[in-house]
A = this chain, B = another copy of it.
């Protein structure tokens, strides 16, 4: 038998198989294989990327030279460009605008031989600091309404031929639909209850414990009740906050530890699976960004980890529904 479960944050339905046993060997995906040809993201190859827009560097080291722990550069083949006007216009019934925004690469480590989960917590903390710095900077550009931070690990998660540990950042002139839907649901909930939906669900999950994967003083990692993907994870700050960029140094330390912890568990359990990681942040406070006066109370930023070990079919594309063969309670137990 199966269950149909509704995701409380997005309204999305998922068919979850009711099974108590899962063999990680049931899932087939391409093993991660590190490319060993020339890599523009390695230390000493800095001249092969566009000039850096941010870096955490050893005192005395020079921009675009060696001596960094994290480095952010514009994508040399960007999907959106920072130059030019938005040029919003219509073509009969259709709406379009120029591809204005930013597309940046966050190089997570100067070393070619480590993936994100193999880094030390201190190094992961530097990656988090880089995201904070870039989001704060991009917020000044009034054309930008949202910054989407994400990571593609492994070919089946969209990483193609790049095997150096990187994340990406896309600054957008519109708020993504996925986020807008979450904002609207969170607003309705707060309007009814005078409480944050995420805080409430987190409290229930911490009490029940059966979908809890990891926890420290500032963060919790859950297998969400209506997980779309097997071994999906949701990381939430325990203290209510709508904006990721307001994260404190103490929280950065705690987040880097729990993130390393759950990514290691995922890699140990499944054997270096492909996955996507994304930040679900509130939009910038612009009149039409999906921002409203209650957004600070309504929304609670979070991270999503989506292992890509099953194939999406016409069913998912046609419906926005998902089918998940692994109940999150079983995933939590495995991890």
Minimum C-beta distance from A108 to chain B (A)? 14
Is there an interface contact between A151 and B15, defined as CB atoms closer than 8 Å? no
| Interface SS of chain A | mixed
Instruction: Mark each residue of chain A from 254 to 280: 1 if its CB lies under 8 Å from any CB of chain B, else 0.
Output: 000000000000000000000011111
Is there an interface contact between B152 and A319, defined as CB atoms closer than 8 Å? no
Q: Does A40 contact B (CB under 8 A)?
A: no
Minimum C-beta distance from A115 to chain B (A)? 15
Give the docked Cα–Cα distance between A295 and B50 (Å): 52
Minimum C-beta distance from A281 to chain B (A)? 10
Is there an interface contact between A94 and B276, defined as CB atoms closer than 8 Å? no
Q: Does A248 contact B (CB under 8 A)?
A: no
Is there an interface contact between A314 and B81, defined as CB atoms closer than 8 Å? no
Is there an interface contact between B178 and A1, defined as CB atoms closer than 8 Å? no
Give the docked Cα–Cα distance between A151 and B314 (Å): 6
Size of interface on A: residues with Cβ below 8 Å to B: 70
Is there an interface contact between B318 and A304, defined as CB atoms closer than 8 Å? yes
Give the docked Cα–Cα distance between A99 and B14 (Å): 10
Q: Does A321 contact B (CB under 8 A)?
A: yes
Binding site for B on A (CB under 8 A): 1-6, 8, 11-13, 15, 17-18, 79-81, 91-99, 148, 150-152, 155-160, 168, 170, 172-174, 176-179, 181, 197, 200-201, 204, 208, 225-226, 276-280, 304, 306, 311-315, 317-321, 323
In the complex, besides A2-B99, A6-B96, 16 extra interface pairs with C-beta distance below 8 angstroms are: A5-B96, A6-B94, A8-B94, A13-B177, A15-B99, A91-B225, A93-B197, A93-B204, A94-B226, A150-B313, A155-B311, A157-B314, A160-B311, A179-B319, A277-B314, A279-B318
